[in-house]
Amino acid sequence: LASLIYITVDKTTTGTSNDNEGEEEIVETCGYDACKMQIQPNKMNIHIVAHTHDDSGWLSTVDEYYINRVNTILNTVVLELNDNPNRMFTWVEISFFSRWWREQSVEKQKMVKRFVKTGQLQFALGHWTMADEAVTYYADVIENAEQGMRFLEYHFGSTCGRPLVGWQVDPF
């Protein structure tokens, strides 16, 4: 899926991170600073955002969805981001991402951390799953958000791991 959004670039999130001793220091240029598009004030500036929307258990079981779709999507995204540093991708569903993350080698996890720190891979919403809005109890929404955000902060830090966009593309 891809969505069209309009962005006004006015917030910065930069710094350096040295989370792991002995690893190469990566300058954090995540968030709005990761945008490589040159804004042209006299023209309409449109960003096309490649992103996920993987329902946890809608038409397939969670396992079928992960095995048949999510695993392939994430492996392809990592290859494409590694091949072209100008590419970016936005991931939404942390439950699927965490499962994929646990299956990866330390080397691939380091590569993905680099993508996050440089803004090539960004997270939107940050919830464990994207909840339907029609019959969701507020305490469940909070717990869903907390679980996803804790995963992101633990693995990617509070600067680049924290989503800057609230994302709800499937409201009911």
* Residues with a known catalytic role: 170
Backbone angles phi, psi at 3, to 5 degrees: -125, 150
Question: What residues pair up with 27 in beta bridges, in sequence order?
Answer: 16
Which of 148, 152, 164, 157 lies closest to 26 in space, CA to CA? 157
- Distance, CA of 19 to CA of 21 (rounded, Å): 7
- Distance, CA of 133 to CA of 144 (rounded, Å): 13
Backbone angles phi, psi at 122, to 5 degrees: -125, 160
Question: What residues pair up with 79 in beta bridges, in sequence order?
Answer: none
Instruction: Tell me the longest C-alpha to C-alpha distance in the chain.
Output: 48
Query: Coil, helix or strand for 4?
Result: strand
Instruction: Kindly state the helix (H) or strand (E) to which residue 150 belongs, with its residue range.
Output: helix 138-156
